[in-house]
Amino acid sequence: MTRSTTIVMRCGLLSVSILAVSACAPQQPPPPPAAAAPPSYAAGSPPPTTTYYDGTYIGSFVQNMSASGSQCPNIPVAPALTINNGVARFAALDLTYQGYVTPQGDVNMTTPAGQTFVGHIDPHYVLAGQTTGRCVYDASWQRRGATGQKPN
């Protein structure tokens, strides 16, 4: 055997040995898949939210502010609205509004069809706001079990 053949064989054996050792070495587990946002959360980037306002809000008032002849139905009482983990939701007229509540009590919700709700929760846990879209309504809710004024 020539010297160059010996060197080539040793390099080949060394390469096979390295591959064998690396194949037997413990493998790092794959990274866990990124947790997707639950489909129940509102679309878009949420503002800072709070759970302070979480609860069920009972509808107390609705006023149809839609243009005359719009054929928007009158709703006697706002449907129940829930806030859970800073995410607000309610359904009316086959639409589901969903959005976020900020630490200041501002509530912004949208529907998949593009209607919006903008409102504010006052220190007595009364949420008042307006829906806009094809129909326009002013509405208010009171948090169930709310007593007194929110502490500062």
Q: Of 83, 96, 81, 95, nearest to 140 (Cα)?
A: 81
**Residue 20: inside a domain:** no
Write down the pLDDT at residue 89.
97
Whether the pLDDT of residue 111 is over 80: the answer is yes
CB 100 within 8 A of CB 108: yes
d(CA 52, CA 43): 21
Q: The CATH number of the domain where 121 resides is what?
A: 2.40.128
**Residue 6: inside a domain:** no
**Residue 74: inside a domain:** yes
d(CA 131, CA 116): 5
**pLDDT digit string, tens, across residues 22-62:** 444 454 555 544 444 444 445 556 678 888 999 999 998 89
- Band of pLDDT at residue 120, cut at 50, 70 and 90: very high
Write down the pLDDT at residue 118.
98
**Residue 138: inside a domain:** yes
For 93: left if phi > 0, alpha if psi spans -120 to 50, otherwise beta; the answer is left
Whether the pLDDT of residue 124 is over 60: the answer is yes
Helix (H, G, I), strand (E, B) or coil at 63: strand
CA distances from 92 to 21, 22, 51, 96, 127 (A): 65, 62, 24, 7, 16
**pLDDT digit string, tens, across residues 60-84:** 889 999 998 899 999 989 999 999 9
**Residue 149: inside a domain:** no
Q: Of 128, 125, 130, 127, nearest to 148 (Cα)?
A: 125
Residue type, 123: P
**Residue 7: inside a domain:** no
For the question of whether the overall pTM of this predicted structure is more than 0.75, the answer is no
Write down the pLDDT at residue 122.
96
Domain range for residue 107?
Answer: 55-143
Q: What is the dihedral of CA 110, 131, 89, 80, to 10 degrees?
A: -170
**pLDDT digit string, tens, across residues 80-99:** 999 999 999 999 988 999 99
**Residue 47: inside a domain:** no
Write down the pLDDT at residue 140.
97
